[in-house]
Amino acid sequence: MDRPPASGPGPRTGSGAIAVVTLRSGEPVRLEPATGDDLDQLYALFAAVVARGEGFPHAPPLTPAAFAATWDVPGTTTVVARLGPPGAVVMGAYYLRPNFVGRAAHIANAGYVVGARWRRRGVGRALLEDSVRRAPLLGFDAIQFNLVFASNPARALYAELGWRQIGTVPAAVDGEDAVIYWRRVG
């Protein structure tokens, strides 16, 4: 497997503190800014999602450059969900960054990933809720998802947590429509 670049995602200004949430199973999960030590796990988790064609438009196999262009963009805050103390298993992650430049930079773009082993346990919900809490701390007043596959099962959760569909991109990826979602957070 290709290795990711050495720099990797890390905490950015205003990324906030550690939050601990309890999953449906009763397991405590730490939500905290990613560090360089998380890079290998995050790369492996994201590479598996890309390989299955789930949720992101990347073509497999994931390359270090494609990983960096998604997760290690200047101005990005990356948060991981981990089972246990620092260095423990990364179950999922999200990023927040400006969706636009200049006067529209108050709108965040976000992407979320949960490892297949950890799905349907509340990790995705915890990541979404945490991003809504952290986004205003980073200066954002809204979060927009630019390209959600129409078949994505998380769409019901997005709606439940306050995102609304504001557009559709016909035949966006391999003939499948994509949906644009937006939600105020500040």
* Domains of the chain by residue range: 19-141
Model pLDDT for residues 27-80, shown as the tens digit of each residue? 899 999 999 999 999 999 999 999 999 889 999 999 999 999 999 999 999 999
Compute the average pLDDT of residues 8-30.
72
Concatenate the DSSP letters of all residues of the chain into one string. Answer: -PPPPSS-----TT----EEEE-TTS-EEEEEE--GGGHHHHHHHHHHHHHHT-SS-PPSSP-HHHHHHHH--TT-EEEEEEESSTTSEEEEEEEEEESSSGGGTTEEEEEEEE-GGGTTTTHHHHHHHHHHHHGGGGT-SEEEEEEEETT-TTHHHHHHTT-EEEEEEEEEETTEEEEEEEEE--
Model pLDDT for residues 137-164, shown as the tens digit of each residue? 999 999 999 999 999 989 999 999 999 9
CATH code reported for the domain at 19-141: 3.40.630.30
pTM: 0.89
